[in-house]
Copies of this chain bind each other. A is one copy, B any other.
Amino acid sequence: MQDSIRAVSWTDAGIALLDQRQLPHRAEILVLNTVREVAEAIQRMVVRGAPAIGITAAYAVVLAARGRYAADASRWKHAVAADLALLAGARPTAVNLAWALQRMAALIAQLEGDPGPPLLAEARRIHAEDIAANHRMGELGAAVIESPCEVLTHCNAGALATGGFGTALGVIRSAFTAGKIRCVYADETRPWLQGARLTAWELLQDHIPVKLIADGAATYAMRQGKVRWVIVGADRIAANGDVANKIGTYGLAVSARYHGVGFMVVAPISTLDLGIAHGSHIPIEERGADELVCLGERRVAAAGAGAWNPVFDVTPAELIDVIVTERGVVRAPNREKLAALIATETPPNRA
């Protein structure tokens, strides 16, 4: 299985991001050296996907700390706080960004001397742990699928959205290898078309059969019996199991329940936000009208048309059959089950 797609990697020259706005036409790598560049790259969706954003931000903290330490070794910790704040504000919905920054900040608080090497080691650990978690979730999620079937995914929760391998697409990769998936229906996922541009590309790299559908065709596909499972990622999971994910996810969950189709959310523990009691409190990013009234440079809608462009929505826990994390599978998720999961020790990685 493809494990070589890397949305983000650390190089001696800086943070290397695969510019996802150019895929699948061009695999262009941008190498960034400043926190401001990285924050802008996150905001402009050069890199996207909750875990990938978190990893990118962790590496950006290395850049920030190095620069601040070089400028003033006695006051760098104070100065670097502004960099962390800048990164934290780049996008509001995915919690992995804040999670990675908090983990880096916790280490910063303990450091003495040159912060570069220990912070780089920590960022690399965050990255490696994410990849390992994806492989573990792949195994666990694939085990939930009982027999060969077709599945539907939304947006891109693949190698491109993570440190590597993917969350939802990690499960799909593992289940395909195990002979449990025959074909993947991929929502094209307007307005950014992550399904058409990214998910189809990723799956084709691994020779997994993929059929694109218009987002509006998903419910009809379920009616036609074409789909046994909907498998998606998550940008933030509230303590009660409500899941924020790409706009359109909630509609899929409503339709899946109506048709008796399984609904699986795949996300690492870093996506769980116990500080948010209920999904309704998750901040939902709204982006500009341009993403809807224009296609690329070209205006599609008549001048004067308004738009409402929330780019995430919240799926209530009661519509979710399974949440798959690297620590285990939670069926019919709720506050108690998620609290118990968090309280468990991380099992030894079997991969």
Give residues of chain A (85-137) contacting chain B, Cβ–Cβ below 8 Å: none
Contacts of A301 in B (CB 8 A): 24, 188, 196-197, 200-201, 212
In contact, A212 and B251 (Cβ under 8 angstroms): no
Which bucket holds chain A's interface residue count? 35 or more
How far does the Cβ of A195 sit from chain B's closest Cβ, in whole Å? 8
Considering the chains assembled together, what is the distance between the CA atoms of A351 and B310 in angstroms? 41
Say yes or no: B187 contacts A216, CB within 8 Å. Answer: yes
Chain B residues in 8 Å Cβ range of A188: 190, 292, 300-301
* Residue of B209, B214, B246, B254 touching A306 (CB-CB under 8 A): B209
In the complex, what distance in Å separates the CA atom of A299 from the CA atom of B300? 17
Are B250 and A219 in contact, with the CB atoms below 8 A?
yes
Main secondary structure of the interface of A (DSSP, over half): mixed
- Among the listed B196, B215, B218, B220, which residue makes an inter-chain contact with A305, where contact means beta carbons less than 8 Å apart? B196
In this assembly, does A82 line the interface, its C-beta being within 8 Å of a C-beta of chain B?
Answer: no
8 shortest interchain CB distances as A-B pairs: A216-B248, A219-B251, A200-B305, A220-B313, A201-B302, A24-B302, A212-B307, A190-B214
B-contacting residues of A (Cβ < 8 Å)?
Answer: 24-25, 154, 185-191, 193, 196-197, 200-201, 204, 209-221, 223, 226, 246-251, 254-255, 258, 289, 292-293, 295-296, 298-302, 304-310, 313-314
29 chain-A/chain-B pairs, Cβ below 8 angstroms: A25-B299, A154-B216, A190-B216, A193-B295, A197-B300, A200-B301, A201-B305, A204-B304, A204-B305, A209-B306, A212-B293, A212-B305, A212-B306, A212-B308, A213-B308, A214-B247, A214-B248, A214-B292, A214-B309, A215-B248, A216-B247, A216-B251, A217-B313, A219-B248, A219-B313, A220-B310, A254-B255, A254-B258, A295-B296
